[in-house]
Structure 1
Amino acid sequence: MQETSQPIQLDVNAYLQRIGYDGPLATSAQTLARLQECHLHTVPYENFDILHKIPLSLEIPDLYEKIVIRNRGGYCFELNALFSWLLRELGFPVTDYFARFWRDEPNLPPKRRHHVLKVETEGKFYLCDVGVGGIVPRKPIEMVEGLVQTQGNEGYKLEKVPEFGWMLYEKKKEQWREIFSFTEEPQLAKDYIMASFWCENAPESIFTKEAMAAIRTKDGRNSVSGKEFRIFIGEQVHAFSPSSKEEYKQALQTYFGIVLPDEAYHFF
């Protein structure tokens, strides 16, 4: 978190400009879908502050300063918290939930360490999430059990399962696989502090091990894993590892719009 001498002025229009949204602001399903899609294409998922041992703040002014003013990204507890604030400012009813992230989890069942949103519009409820590094729905998922929802070449559905509530599935190679689950217990902002602290500091947390970044693009997506960049365009992928800190810095700015101070690259 960067210290500032003046209180942060929260500006919805500046946030909308940050995510490249210039459409209507009616509290409609269409507006909600476009807001989420714009967010995923402009605000990266990333953990560089965690690697640099900069304590995260989940306070809205601090998140706004980091993501909107400094053009950074974050992870679920940051991104979905600020997106939740934006939606509420625009007039959408929003409920915050805790989720268990099942995809790629070696020790099932997973702990609750993911933040997701339920948003109401036009008499329906939608699951919204702008805080995942892997492939997730680019548009909100209507909360109807068993309804298959196709987004481009991706397929998703929600089912209710014993013990874990709603489960979001993705279709991969003609099989349905779990992404995350959540129960409908509303959470307060303070409820995420302990989980976020664990993600920042626990030796076994994936966020403390190596650099992670991801962002959607019009042609696919970009990602970082450690020192390797992967640029996905359709079914093709171009992978490369910068040979110097300067090349890494340039690639990070080119593919994610992220600019970090020199001392943040100690992991290189």
Structure 2
Amino acid sequence: MIHTSEQCDVAAYLNRIGYEGPLEPTLEVLKELQRLHVHAVPYENLDILAGIPLSLSVPELYHKIVTAGRGGYCFELNALFGWLLEQAGYEVTNYFGRFWKDEPVTPAKRRHHILHVVIDGKRYITDVGVGGAGPREPLELIEDAPQTQGDECYRLSKSAAYGWMLYEQKGEDWNPVFSFTEEPNLPEDFLTTSYWCEHAPDSPFNKTARVSIRTAEGRNTIDDREFRIYTKQGVHVFHPSSKQEYTEALARYFGIRLTGELPWLE
């Protein structure tokens, strides 16, 4: 359904993520917008599993994420977040990337959307579409400098083959998250890959539920039918025994309220 008659209201978007400060293109505002966004808007692929075609147009994304209170995956979340940043006065460039996290071999396809902004002459990447374990704040685009965010640490390195590579520290190891090159992309450049993610037989997005959101205590995730609630005390794992329990858990832990059929549970 096209929602072109619905006004894309910046104030309503800010209310959706809980931001109450001034909207100006500064680093501190960007940090707060990203931090609040990943705590309020879930990463999720449930429309893909339900066979509902995705749209990357801003009015459609606004209706889904702001009006309907849903989430999305990187092509949806970063497209709308990029629009918000542009409304705030940021200089935004769209980058295409390969997603390496938990991949046993080199990813064969670029299937991640990253946003690049320039603030006071310094360059940053900002991303609200990684999922519950992604960076909670922007990262300065500088080479091989550890950047700490709470109890997490990241660094960016240059790769001759894949451009910039983002790593996250796990113990003594640095594990790749995603890579990207600095070629600017138009919003339309992501349509073909998003369609592949929805429909291709070898796409990882149309097989099982993938849902995640950051919380004050840690993060909440769904992997297939398994819910994992991470807190400072540990991980609570459970499997809803019915569709009703599943939808109630979706609403409780992710703010996602679904009605109708849930075909991935059949």
For 2:79, the equivalent position in structure 1 comes to 81
Q: Distance in 2 between matches of 1:59 and 1:3?
A: 9
For 2:161, the equivalent position in structure 1 comes to 163
Aligned residue pairs, count: 266
For 2:45, the equivalent position in structure 1 comes to 47
Residue 141 of structure 2 aligns to which amino acid in structure 1? M
Q: Distance in 2 between matches of 1:164 and 1:235?
A: 38
For 1:18, the equivalent position in structure 2 comes to 16
Give 1:122 shift: 2.2
| 1:26-45 alignment runs, 5 A limit | 26-45=24-43
Residue by residue, what CA displacement relative to the aligned partner does 1:235-263 show, whole Å, maximum 9, x if unpaired? 61000001111000100000000011221
Q: Distance in 1 between matches of 2:224 and 2:105?
A: 22
For 1:132, the equivalent position in structure 2 comes to 130
* Contact in 2 for aligned 1:215/1:222 (Cα 8 Å): yes
Q: Distance in 1 between matches of 2:8 and 2:218?
A: 31
Question: Which sections of structure 1, spanning at least 5 residues, go unmatched?
Answer: none
Give 1:266 shift: 4.9
* Contact in 1 for aligned 2:240/2:246 (Cα 8 Å): yes
**SS, match of residue 252 in structure 2:** helix
**SS, match of residue 72 in structure 2:** coil
Q: Of the candidates 57, 60, 69, which is equivalent to residue 59 of structure 1?
A: 57
For 2:177, the equivalent position in structure 1 comes to 179
Give 1:138 shift: 0.2
**SS, match of residue 169 in structure 1:** strand
Residue by residue, what CA displacement relative to the aligned partner does 1:184-239 show, whole Å, maximum 9, x if unpaired? 00000110001000100012111111111000001100000111110000261000
What TM-score results when the alignment is normalised by the length of structure 1? 0.96
* Contact in 2 for aligned 1:72/1:258 (Cα 8 Å): yes
Stretch deviating more after TM superposition (126-135 or 11-20): 126-135
Q: Distance in 1 between matches of 2:168 and 2:179?
A: 12
For 1:71, the equivalent position in structure 2 comes to 69
Question: 1:48 and 1:7, CA in 2 relative to 1: closer, same or farther beyond 3 A?
Answer: same
Q: Of the candidates 219, 239, 242, which is equivalent to residue 240 of structure 2?
A: 242
**SS, match of residue 17 in structure 1:** helix
For 2:225, the equivalent position in structure 1 comes to 227
Q: Distance in 2 between matches of 1:134 and 1:72?
A: 15
Q: Distance in 1 between matches of 2:8 and 2:183?
A: 28
Q: Runs of at least 4 residues of structure 1 off by over 6 A? A: none
Give 1:3 shift: 5.0
| 1:113-128 alignment runs, 5 A limit | 113-128=111-126
Among all aligned residue pairs of Structure 1 and Structure 2, give the percentage whose two residues are the same amino acid: 56
Residue 97 of structure 2 aligns to which amino acid in structure 1? A
* Contact in 2 for aligned 1:214/1:222 (Cα 8 Å): yes
What TM-score results when the alignment is normalised by the length of structure 2? 0.97
For 1:209, the equivalent position in structure 2 comes to 207
Give 1:27 shift: 1.2
For 1:97, the equivalent position in structure 2 comes to 95
For 2:110, the equivalent position in structure 1 comes to 112
Residue 131 of structure 1 aligns to which amino acid in structure 2? G
Question: Which sections of structure 2, spanning at least 5 residues, go unmatched?
Answer: none
* Contact in 2 for aligned 1:102/1:110 (Cα 8 Å): no
* Contact in 2 for aligned 1:245/1:265 (Cα 8 Å): no
Q: Distance in 1 between matches of 2:259 and 2:107?
A: 38
Residue 157 of structure 1 aligns to which amino acid in structure 2? R
Stretch deviating more after TM superposition (57-66 or 231-240): 231-240
